[in-house]
Amino acid sequence: MKIKRRDFLKLSAAAGVAAAAFKGTALNALAEVTRGTIGGEKPGEWKASTCQGCTTWCPVEVFVQDGRAVKVRGNRYSKQNDGYVCPRGHLQLQEVYDPDRIKVPMKRTNPAKGRGIDPKFVPISWDEAFNTIADKMMALRQAGEPEKYLLLRGRYTYMRDLIYDGVTKIFGSPNNISHSAICAEAENFGAYYTEGMWGYRDYDISNSKYVLVWGCDPVSSNRMIPATIKRLGDVLDNATVAVVDPKMNNTSAKAQEWLPLLPGTDGALALALAHVLLSEGLWFKEFVGDFKGGKNLFKAGATVDEAAFEEKESHGVVRWWNLAVKDMTPKKAAAITKVPAEQIIRVARGMAKAAPNVAVWLGPGAAMQVRGGYSAMAVNALNGLVGGIDNVGGTLPSNKVPTRKMPHVDAYQDELAKKHAKLKKIDQRGTRAIPALKKGKSGGGVVTNNTATGILNADPYEIKVAVGYMNNFAFSCSGAERWEKAMARIPFFTHITTHASEMTQFADIVLPGATSTYEKLCWVKQKQNRYAQCTLLQPVIEPLWPVINDETEFPWMLGEKFAERGFPNLIDFLKKEFKDPETGKEATNSKEFTEYAVKYYTQDLWNGKKVGGDKITGWAEFRKRGMWNSDPQPYKTRWGGKFGKDEEKDGKKTTHGTVSHRFEFYSETLKKALTGHAEKHKTTVDDILAACNYTARGELAFVPHYEPPFRYGSEKEYPFTFIDYKSRLNREGRSQNAPWYYEFKHVDPGDVGWQDVLKINPADARKLGLKDGDKIRVTSVAGSIECTAHLWEGVRPGAVAKAFGQGHWAYGKTAAKDYAKAVPRGGNNNTLMPFDIERLSGANVRNGGFTGVKIQKA
């Protein structure tokens, strides 16, 4: 044994026990085991794209190693998500690499169509697929009936114009039908007929002192999820958060106040809050104005002279009080809603104290009801009463995203197209019982779910050829089975899709579509936290098989086939109107076309034009960053009579926004729209309201008011009121084939991993003799499903709640219990919920307690 180092003979530092004295080793023949080198992460690149797991449309970055997408995070430049994604961002990796993705175009060889009937799909070439589609479509033109072509759009990007408008209009059909009314059109109705904005609001919660969340769960769904997740903790410290939801949700679990109202009684609760604000003199005077004498004349039950009040930014507060508010005392509302009167008073006073830094966050739960149009208005009216509209800590409109509009198609439409594209639409919008009053216009908006009615009844005519993309109406619309029948009626249907969904089972040709975040070049726009954004979806990886971009490559490839058949109009439009804005070159193939088109739309964001927001110096930089942020949205942009403005063009006067140009408690705008619709059908507004299943008559039709909820199924036969809501892991309809969805299903409060549970209050379960985990059959007037009972105190006795998402009988081997035999895993809420629409807006109905169910042990 030798001494190897002199240190071995030295005494430890005389300094003694300071920790530093012990550092370093004085070993000779022994050594501490050294661990191997930590190599860390292998090289890769973060590439910018966009997540479309929900309507937040987060700018994201995808980490790519060896050409594979391996991780997802928020885009580092984003002022919306600050570089974070919610669980959906991570979950989507199982979507792009899903074993059940369609890898080749296929055609149906079994002409019989229906659930459980094997379409007997076989692979075909892209050429055969497009030849078949083009032949079928051209046959319609040859027969002089191009209107019998139907485009069914699902989730989209803003390249939608090309397939949705471009193809349809140049071909000559009026039938470009979007999914928008499944989403939350009734919510937009509430905003439009109070503040004159048909669009989703932005919420300045960082500066709020009171946030009243109504009918949604913003940390889980809605339109600013990561932004809300990031801020909620601080908001709870700095403000009061109150949540209106008939069942416990993620936000209400954390909030100071939870108001679990009876489903569908939102209007009564909103009016009662207004009653407190008005009768106690707590409204925000700078916005609403005040009594001329300064004395509050709003007394419960008492009619007030309109002349006594001088309004500032609003219109019709006294008339509203007289028509709808004066009798809705907290006590009366408590009886209707089952929310205690003291809580109503406390919340209203809390809001008043925090005014005007109050955001009333109007969600679909308050709106997507049979009679939800007026409850949406009532909830949004509260934003006016507390002055939070366009205000610090309140609700805001969005900054503009200065992208280009689609070039006009007129020059490419032949006579046939011009004439037939103006025919009535298959969704029957604007008919007497379906006003669909988007932006004040009779038949102004889509009535997605009613398209099935049009197809089934061949009213106004038969649909012979249809194309659908990124949609699955046979699963996602209430009364889903109606869609199965409707789809079976269409003689030739092409589905562009990533997965063989329920709707695909009715397809004659199936084209493998690109997944949105990973394989497409497109753009979308959205806003949050006062910033609007334009964000690119980019092909960050090479697809494993040839797939097409539905919105750009399908039109291009179809256009080429049309040209071969003597109809070059579509391809001419795409080539000539979407030249590369930098070089002026025409595209020669679908990929070039896609890039030129995206460049065309977004050019002003990166070509040096002064548009404000982020400075981006060129196309290459825009692609690298992946996004553009606007300047922050200023406050009070519409105060001073700018909630509406009149425009005169070619002698025709049109109004954008509210008719009174103010925030309307008495909606002159709705009065004009309803009157116009009634006149069109030569009838009265009262008749229209009756046809639309509303109870209001007379002047009440023009103010936010309470309508008793409409319910399918008697309480006797169907004793439980069904509550539908969205799982926070739903990537709209696209995550149910991902095993991680089931693994973490329990992050939905009250849910259980790998199960589809109906949540029942334990008291009710006791009465039914049900135990936790029992297999149950749930039945409504519309249909019946099987699922699992879970006893939970987050739902009131008499109501049951189930997250939407499961119950697929197709889509893939994970989503369905047995794909080959069409056996569903769990139950689809849309089987239970009957077909219906909120007729004033055209919106699908899924909330408001409209479905009664009975429960039996399976």
Partner 1 sequence: MTQYAMVIDLHKCVGCGACALACKTENNTALRRNGQTRNWADYQHETRGKFPKTTYMTRPVLCNHCSNAPCVKACPVTPKAMYKTRDGITMTNNERCIGCRACQDACPYSKMEVKDGETSVISFNEFDQPYEPFYADKSEAIPGCTSSGAEVAKKTDNPPHRTRYDHPDYADVRRPGIVEKCIFCEHRVKKGELPYCVVACPASARIFGDISDPNSEVARLVKKHKGTVLKPGKGTKPNVYYIRSYSVK
Partner 2 sequence: MTTDPARRDVARSDAYRLLAACFCEPERELFLAENLGANLAALMEELAVPAREPCRRLAEGLDANSQEELFLEYTALFLGPFGAPAHPYGSVYLDQARQLMGDSTMVAKKMYQAAGITQEVEGPPDHICLELEFMSYLTRRIAQALADGDEAVVAEFSRRQRDFYTRCLARWVTPFCNAIRDNAQLPFYRALADCLGGFIAAERRHVQEMATTPVPAA
519-548 residues in contact with partner 1 (CB under 8 A) are 544-545
Smallest gap from Cβ 401 to partner 1, in A, equals: 24
Q: What are the backbone angles phi and psi of residue 44, rounded to the nearest 5°?
A: -170, 180
- Of residues 191 through 220, those in contact with partner 1 by CB under 8 A are 219-220
Compare residues 640 and 739 and give the one whose CB is closer to partner 1: 739
1: partner contacted, choices partner 2, partner 1, none (Cβ within 5-8 A by kind): partner 2
Minimum distance, C-beta of residue 4 to partner 2, in the bound complex (Å):
8
389/382 Cα distance (integer angstroms) = 9
**Interface pick for partner 1 out of 135, 582, 739, 775 (rule CB under 8 A):** 739
Closest by alpha carbon to 385, among 261, 242, 273, 269? Answer: 273
Contact positions with partner 1 (CB under 8 A) in 545-564: 545
| Candidate ranges 137-145, 149-157, 247-255, 464-472; the one touching partner 1 (CB under 8 A) | 247-255
**18 sits near partner 2 (criterion: CB under 8 A):** yes
Distance of CA 144 to the CA centre of its chain: 37
SS3 482: helix
Q: How many residues bind partner 2 (CB under 8 A)?
A: 23
Exposure letters 542-575 (e unless 16+ CB within 10 A, then b): ebeeebbbbbbbbbbbbbbbbeeeebebbbbbbb
Q: Which two tokens stand for residue 723?
A: 């509550």
Looking at the Cβ atoms of 38 and 307, the one nearer to partner 2 is: 38
Q: Which does 403 bind (CB under 5 to 8 A by kind): partner 1, partner 2, none?
A: none
Contact region for partner 1 (CB under 8 A) — 103-111, 328-336, 442-450, 682-690? 103-111
Instruction: Tell me which stretch binds partner 1 (CB under 8 A): 59-67, 350-358, 413-421, 561-569.
Output: 59-67
Residues of this chain, 402-441, that bind partner 2 according to CB under 8 A: none
Q: Which does 85 bind (CB under 5 to 8 A by kind): partner 1, partner 2, none?
A: partner 1
Please answer whether residues 628 and 601 qualify as being in contact, where contact means their C-beta atoms are separated by less than 8 angstroms: no
| Least CB distance to partner 2 at residue 24 (A) | 10
Q: Which is nearer to partner 2, 6 or 652 (CB)?
A: 6
Instruction: Give the binding range for partner 2 (CB under 8 A) out of 20-28, 194-202, 216-224, 484-492.
Output: 20-28
28 or 607: CB nearest partner 2? 28
| Among 815, 826, 807, residue whose Cα is nearest residue 738 | 815
The residue from 9, 11, 33, 307 that contacts partner 1 (CB under 8 A) is 33
Q: Report the residue number, 430 or 812, with the smaller CB distance to partner 1.
A: 812
Length of the chain equals: 858
Do 739 and 815 meet the contact criterion of CB atoms below 8 Å apart?
no
Residue 18, contacted partner among partner 1, partner 2, none, CB below 5-8 A by kind: partner 2
Please say which residue, 241 or 782, places its beta carbon nearer to partner 1. 241
545 binds partner 2 (CB under 8 A): no
Of 820-849, binders to partner 1 (CB under 8 A) are: 820
φ, ψ (nearest 5 deg) of residue 843: -75, 150
Cα separation, 254 vs 219, in Å, equals 11
Question: Which parts of 574-633 interact with partner 1 (CB under 8 A)?
Answer: none
Can you tell me the distance from the alpha carbon of 352 to that of 457, in angstroms, rounded to the nearest whole number? Answer: 52
Name the binder of 28 from partner 1, partner 2, none, CB < 5-8 A by kind.
partner 2
Least distance in angstroms from the C-beta of 770 to partner 1: 16
User: Could you give the dihedral angle defined by the CA atoms of residues 249, 254, 257 and 260, in that order, rounded to the nearest 10 degrees?
Assistant: 20
Q: 8 is in the binding site of which of partner 1, partner 2, none (Cβ under 5 to 8 A by kind)? A: partner 2
Angle (deg, nearest 10), helices 372-385 and 185-195: 50
- Residue 848 touches which of partner 1, partner 2, none (CB < 5 to 8 A by kind)? none
Q: Which does 595 bind (CB under 5 to 8 A by kind): partner 2, partner 1, none?
A: none
Judged by CB under 8 A, the residue of 53, 89, 146, 363 near partner 1 is: 89
Contacts of residue 367, Cβ cutoff 8 Å, sequence gap at least 6: 184, 186, 187, 189, 190, 215, 373, 375, 376, 379, 838, 843, 847
Tokens representing 708?
A: 């008793």
Q: Does 226 bind partner 1 (CB under 8 A)?
A: yes
Range 110-149, binding partner 1 (CB under 8 A):
121-123
Q: How far apart are CA 229 and CA 213, in angstroms?
A: 14
Name the one range near partner 2 by CB under 8 A: 8-16, 355-363, 623-631, 788-796: 8-16
Contact 816, 809 (CB under 8 A): yes
Is residue 346 a contact point for partner 1 (CB under 8 A)? Answer: no
Q: Which of these segments, 29-37, 346-354, 419-427, 777-785, binds partner 1 (CB under 8 A)?
A: 29-37
Which CB, 15 or 820, lies closer to partner 2?
15
Choose from partner 2, partner 1, none: what does 729 bind? Cβ within 5-8 Å by kind. partner 1
Query: Taking Cα atoms as reference points, which of 274, 226, 263 lies closest to residue 368?
Result: 263
Site for partner 1 in 456-515 (CB under 8 A): 500, 510
How many positions of this chain bind partner 1 (CB under 8 A)? 91
Contacts with partner 2 in 23-42 (CB under 8 A)? 26-33
Report the distance separating Cα 598 and Cα 623, nearest Å.
Answer: 11
Question: Pick from partner 1, partner 2, none: which does 808 bind, CB < 5 to 8 A by kind?
Answer: none
Task: Kindly state the helix (H) or strand (E) to which residue 509 belongs, with its residue range.
Answer: strand 509-512
Instruction: Choose one: 352-360, 439-447, 573-581, 793-801; the region binding partner 1 (CB under 8 A).
Output: 793-801
Q: Would you state the structure tokens that stand for residue 850, as one six-digit string?
A: 């409209």
401-435 as b/e, with b when 16 or more CB fall inside 10 Å?
Answer: bbbeebeebeebbeebbeebbebbbbbbbbbbebb
- Site map 791..830 versus partner 2, x via CB under 8 A: ----------------------------------------
Q: Which amino acid is residue 12, in one-letter code?
A: S
Phi, psi angles (nearest 5°) of residue 265: -100, 20
Q: Which residues contact 77 (CB under 8 A, 6 or more apart)?
A: 59, 614, 625, 626, 627, 629
Q: Report how far apart, in Å, the C-alpha atoms of 581 and of each of 379, 586, 593, 607, 822 are.
A: 45, 10, 12, 10, 49
Look at residue 752 and give the partner it binds from partner 2, partner 1, none, a contact being a CB closer than 5 to 8 Å depending on partner kind: partner 1
Question: Which contiguous run of DSSP H or E holds residue 852?
Answer: strand 852-857
CA pair distance 379, 191, nearest whole angstrom: 9
73 binds, among partner 1, partner 2, none (CB under 5 to 8 A by kind): partner 1
- Which residue among 1, 14, 24, 36 contacts partner 1 (CB under 8 A)? 36
Return d(Cα 515, Cα 518) in angstroms, integer. Answer: 6
Among residues 403, 405, 406, 407, the alpha carbon closest in space to that of 622 is found at 403
* 456-472 residues labelled b (16+ CB within 10 A) or e (exposed): eeeeeebbbbbbbbbbb
Q: Residue 31's binding partner, choosing from partner 1, partner 2, none, with beta-carbon cut-off 5 to 8 A by kind?
A: partner 2
Inter-CA distances, 370 with 171, 712, 772, Å:
36, 10, 32
Residue 16 binding target from partner 1, partner 2, none, CB below 5 to 8 Å by type: partner 2
**54, 60, 93, 368: which one binds partner 1 (CB under 8 A):** 93
The one of partner 1, partner 2, none whose footprint includes residue 643, by CB under 5 to 8 A per kind, is none
Closest CB to partner 1 among 325 and 500?
Answer: 500
SS3 405: coil
What's the min distance (Å) between Cβ of 38 and partner 1?
A: 5
84 binds, among partner 2, partner 1, none (CB under 5 to 8 A by kind): partner 1
The residues that touch partner 2, with contacts defined as CB under 8 A, are 1-3, 6, 8-12, 16-19, 21-22, 26-33
